[in-house]
Structure 1
């Protein structure tokens, strides 16, 4: 066990609540914008980087990025809990991640060789997930229990709105993807700067360090105990898998399954993003505060069921409207899930003294599907075409809802 002394947080005040909420919202917005834009732009760039097998290159790229993401979010979370500085435990990681992410995106944008793009993407995904680990841990550090749903909804809204803007940005550069990539480092740096300025900087120098040196540090990586924690982990994993199996390949779905050209595909994805934004932002704003009153589970159960339902039209027809129909309920599901998910994660924490580490493990449930989704979707597509992959989305969504039904002791 880690011997820690809690850091004295500033006394609650309206001004502090506003600045924390603004910092988390803007951070979530900026990181999501960059992540969504990078995903589409790299799919578009793959045909020039690896003309012989763009789908295979993108699958390899995202697999390396996902492995780096999981390692980064887990280790950054654990190390963040143990960071001792006059700026606190989280701020150094947010600042360092911003610099690493900007450098990685610059390399991916300006690199001409495939291996440079892979290295840059790995650096970006490591920085993205280290930032997520540190910023998410701010919630149990300073947010009052009665405000968890509200702050969770702001995180979700920032994520969603950033994804919408990132989608439109990518659509504007879809025929010039590397030009689009070269601009994004500025977004990452500005996002990090805003979080560093607005989020609490409470010295952690007075906290006791982990006893036992390196061995003590490694022992602290024992997995959390408690069935509720792991049901939530599994539910998050399956929900993200259901979503990523289709959304990660939206550009390829549009071009290879629906038969659209590059610009037509970019225009369709822009429409899909707009449709998703209408449902997702509305759902995020409403469900977060509402979950403080009626509980988290109804929304986290309903969300993956909507994802499953949204995939049905894609199974039945290869028409552009079917992809839009997926993004419609998918947007509502994504918004509702993200709005209450952060609060649900905090609700099931077994030990808040290692909040960042345990939250990082739960966050890894969102990154792990990135490792397996390309392989699963690729195998299913080879076996029975894209429709079989869409069927996998349905199955994963139903299983995710069943997992949350097993969570007890949390509303």
Structure 2
């Protein structure tokens, strides 16, 4: 089974999440509540991430039990996608903040009901000696999905964008479902989740790094609008994310073999150092062309990090309860979505009071600190090669 087909649903998930979380929600809140867009967006993003945290853990535990009896997790993929499809369209076309809130929460429920169990798919079907390469394909699917989503964000708007994103999510689910259907399932006794200190250290390290990533992800729109002074902030932010994610495909490919052959901590450290340098230059960027070059450098390094991130998870988490473990591991993705706006929004407001546009630049400095802390902590982990 080729990992590219196995990971097609991940492509569809990223087609949706990258534009929704990176551009659409910010633009919708800015249009519907222009007086306090940053504050209202921070609350919405935090609430959505809190829902995602609960759903991912619950779906992971339930899917482990389901797989122990049935041999696969396909029901969770299908049900989650079915809930997500109308919610995607509603988010992009919401006429009020109330509708936007309801649609966002529904989208978090559906996407995480599918995405939490899906995170275990490599462990379910791929031999241990090929996990690094399979993780590389998961990363490639992620970044390719992000590229497609951002291109659509640039060329489509409102309900047309929502329909296109929903169709691609459905297509990704169908390809993965057809790939998994003929494979032999694995039944076992009821799984028991146990995480050792090594696993918890990886989770905390990943959380710190992801606080940095989501600070960049959530506040880039406001950096473009305020700090660079670009009139069409939605399109320009989409272009920057597009450059970031296209470069990420190259980084994801490049890191696949090193993730299998080298100390994974070394690969992560190199990638995070490169990201910190690129983001530091980004924070000082006076113009869009300079910011674009920084986005390319940061994207390549993030692609490499993401590949090794998956490989580390499969190396240290318990295989017998992998979806449950991945649900906890994904706390290091969802909780940073709460922490990033909670930490950064007051700083942005404080420094913007001194000079309009300074706040988002300070947010990018926070990204460097958070990446550095996560990388240092990772060296306390014993990771099998």
After TM superposition, the score normalised by the length of structure 1 is: 0.85
Structure 2 residue matching 1:112: 3-state secondary structure: coil
**Corresponding residue for 1:398?**
372
Displacement of 1:207 after TM fit? 4.7
* Offset of residue 200 of structure 1: 4.4
Match of 2:228 among 255, 258, 263: 258
Distance 1:208 1:252, change over 3 A: same
**Cα gap change, 1:314/1:282 in structure 2, threshold over 3 Å: closer, same or farther?**
closer
Report the CA distance shift for 1:364/1:49 in structure 2 as closer, same or farther (over 3 A). Answer: same
Say which is worse superposed, 102-111 or 60-69, in terms of deviation: 102-111
The equivalent of 1:307 in structure 2 is 275
1:357 aligns with 2:324: yes
Q: How many correspondences in the alignment?
A: 377
Alpha-carbon RMSD across the aligned residues, in angstroms, is: 2.3
| Partner residue, 2:294 | 326
Further displaced range: 91-100 or 377-386: 377-386
2-structure distance, mates of 1:403, 1:396:
11
The one-character-per-residue Cα deviations of 1:178-217 (angstroms, maximum 9, x if unpaired) are 442243222222222222221246687965457xxxxxxx
Number of the residue aligned with 2:338: 371
Q: Which runs of 5+ in 1 are unaligned?
A: 1-16, 211-219
- What SS is found at the alignment partner of 2:43? helix
CA contact (8 A) 1:88 1:204 kept: yes
In the alignment, the residues of structure 2 paired with residue 389 and residue 23 of structure 1 have an alpha-carbon distance, to the nearest angstrom, of 37
- In the aligned structure 2, how far is the partner of 1:317 from the partner of 1:310? 10
Task: Decide which of 111, 132, 142 is 1:159's aligned counterpart.
Answer: 142
> Is it true that 1:233 corresponds to 2:176 in the alignment?
no
Match of 1:29 in 2: 11
Name the residue aligned to 2:45: 62
Matched, 1:38 2:20: yes
Instruction: Give the C-alpha shift of residue 237 in structure 1.
Output: 0.8
State the 1:138 CA deviation: 1.8
C-alpha distance after superposition, 1:310-351 (max 9, x if no partner): 2212333443234324312221221101112111101111x3
Given that 1:87 and 1:202 are in contact with CA atoms closer than 8 Å, whether structure 2 keeps it comes out as no
Identify the match of residue 181 of structure 1 among 154, 157, 162. 162
1: distance between equivalents of 2:231 and 2:276?
Answer: 27
Q: Which residue in the other structure is 1:9 paired with? A: none
Aligned residue runs from structure 1 range 78-97, under 5 A = 78-83=61-66, 88-97=71-80
Q: Name the CA distance, whole Å, in 2 between partners of 1:256 and 1:169.
A: 24
Is the Cα contact below 8 Å between 1:98 and 1:191 reproduced in 2?
no
Structure 2 gaps, min length 5: 352-358
Supply the distance in 2 between the matched residues of 1:374 and 1:295 (Cα, whole angstroms). Answer: 33
More deviation in 118-127 or 44-53?
A: 44-53
- Are the counterparts in 2 of residues 243 and 393 from structure 1 also a CA contact under 8 Å? yes
Moved more, 71-80 or 320-329: 320-329
- Tell me the CA shift for residue 84 of structure 1: 5.6
Q: Counterparts of 1:209 and 1:345 in 2: how far apart (Å)?
A: 21
Helix, strand or coil for the counterpart of 1:104?
Answer: helix
Give SS of 2:195's match: coil
In 2: Cα distance, 1:154 partner to 1:204 partner: 22
Residues 68 and 190, structure 2, Cα contact 8 Å, conserved in 1:
no
